Amino acid sequence: MDGFKKRLGESVQLRLSLALSSAILIIAVVAGVFAYVSAFDEAHDMQDDTLRQMAELFDRQHMTLQYPENGPEEDDESRIILQYLADGSKASGLDDAGTPLPFPTTLADGLSTVPIAGEAFRVLVKTTARGERIAVAQETGARDKDARASALRSVLPFLILLPVLLLVVGDLVRKVFRPIATLSSEIDRRDEQELHPIDEHHLPVEIRPFVVAINRLLHRVAQSMESQRRFVADAAHELRSPMTALSLQAERLAAADMSAPARERLEPLRRGIERSRNLIDQLLTLARVQSASGPAGATSVSVHDTYRRVLEDLMPLAELKQLDIGMDVGADVRVVMGDADLLTLVKNLVDNAIRYTPPGGRVDLSVTLENGAALLQVRDTGPGISSEERERVFDPFYRSLGNQASGSGLGLSIVKAIAERTGARIRLGFSDEQEQRGLCVSLWLAVSLPI
């Protein structure tokens, strides 16, 4: 019940439906009662008229009464009794065929309701032109029954139309609120990069100011995100110059004459500088792929060519660790993507594979067609990523526990940013599902059709 109250407080649509429904219900009940009462009265008036007309008819035609010998044969409930008023005094009592009825002779001319032996009768007493007093009577029970039936018939349309009206109102309210529902689902479907303003032209005037305000907020958010991104890019860019100077000086230092212990200490220093350089590069790449919008410069790119360029770049690293790195035999596939995007994507995946695979391990690249999409896979014989960690490894600077590899921690974030922007699907798995070892990254890209 509390839940319903809460919803009522929150939902204008529910409130509106409920208010309209109750109003309709109350009005329908009042109108129904009124119609019932007036139809009931109307029926009584008509029955009174019937009594009058009969008395009038009897009088005009100068008829004489003869009581039937065997009493009434049919349904006596609704019958109309016509008798001389004076005859009533001769009647002994009331049996079923008890005619004439024992009306008191003192009844005045006109309509009245007279109880006779526990049953009420509506009686019209009239003095005819010949001076006889006649009584036209009918049982009130029967009269009421008829009146109720006719009153109910007049209320019946209300009873039938009420639920229909309620349904129609509910439906109308839903329809009126549909633009809002459409709007919210449209906003819901957006990802965090889609900060373009909401189209307010097809919306009702009442919610337009609200949407305009939201658009302004979206604009401000987009601006602040943009300036943050620019800050990261600028900061990384600014760091490049001192880093370059630092690494050049360290390189020169290595060429200089120095004692053995000094040389020993220089090596970690240079490794540290190398690592910072790498980090700055990756930060810049991430800032760049995040700030680009849409599948920038998408063309038809050969996956084999991209693999080759990446391996040419990374072969020295792989040789250092004596990795067996290579590509599965198969036909080349061309995919729709920006040249630089695909290169950055594959390079980061292969770089990761090389970093996390122990010396002497193996890295395999492959591309195949699967259900009309290009499936690119990079498999290694490293430790792999457990299924619990698979979501988190895409976060910047996330590192698997107990990992000694010296990556920037940004590789997979870059991959994800590019994949999201270009609509590529990505999945992490084990290269060896049974042993739960080795990372296998699968990427599904749109195939470029031959022209």
> Considering the complex, what minimum distance in angstroms separates the CB of residue 383 from another protein?
22
Q: What is the dihedral of CA 46, 50, 51, 53, to 10 degrees?
A: 130
251 touching another protein, by CB under 8 A: yes
User: Nearest distance from residue 319's CB to another protein, in Å?
Assistant: 7
Cβ pair 348, 314 in contact under 8 A: no
Q: What minimum distance in Å lies between the beta carbon of 254 and another protein?
A: 10
By CB under 8 A, tell whether 307 contacts another protein: yes
441 near another protein, rule: CB under 8 A: no
Does position 247 bind another protein by CB under 8 A? yes
Residue with tokens 């490794």: 271
Residues 353-372: x where in contact with another protein by CB under 8 A, - otherwise, as a string:
------------x-------
CA terminus-to-terminus distance, the chain: 64
Does 244 bind another protein (CB under 8 A)? Our answer is yes
Task: Write phi, then psi, for 98 (nearest 5 degrees).
Answer: -65, 70
| Nearer Cβ to another protein (148/270) | 270
Rounded Cα distance, 291 and 283, in Å: 12
Select the residue interacting with another protein from 15, 52, 145, 240 (CB under 8 A).
Answer: 240
Segment contacting another protein by CB under 8 A, of 110-118, 194-202, 303-311, 413-421: 303-311
Binding of residue 219 to another protein (CB under 8 A): no
Minimum distance, C-beta of residue 441 to another protein, in the bound complex (Å): 18
Pairwise CA distance, residues 10 & 176, whole Å: 17
CA dihedral 356, 360, 365, 366 (to 10 degrees): -130
Burial of 278 (0-12, 13-18, 19+ CB in 10 A): middle
Instruction: Taking each helix axis as running N to C, give the angle between helix 339-356 and helix 411-422, from 0 to 180 degrees, rounded to the nearest 10.
Output: 150
Taking CA atoms, 244 is separated from 248, 265, 324, in Å, by 6, 20, 32
In whole angstroms, how far apart are CA 262 and each of 243, 247, 254, 275, 295? 21, 17, 10, 20, 50
Query: Cβ closer to another protein: 313 or 391?
Result: 313
Q: What distance in Å separates the CA atoms of residue 441 and residue 377, rounded to the nearest whole number?
A: 6
Using CB under 8 A as the binding criterion, the count of chain residues that bind another protein stands at 34
329 is an interface residue for another protein by CB under 8 A: yes
Residues from 269 through 288 that contact another protein (CB under 8 A): 277, 280-281, 284
Q: Mask: binding to another protein, 175-214, rule CB under 8 A, as x and -?
A: ----------------------------------------
Residue 340 binds another protein, judged by CB under 8 A:
yes
Which residues bind to another protein, rule: CB under 8 A? 237, 240-249, 251-252, 255, 277, 280-281, 284, 304, 307-308, 311-312, 315-316, 319, 324-329, 340, 365
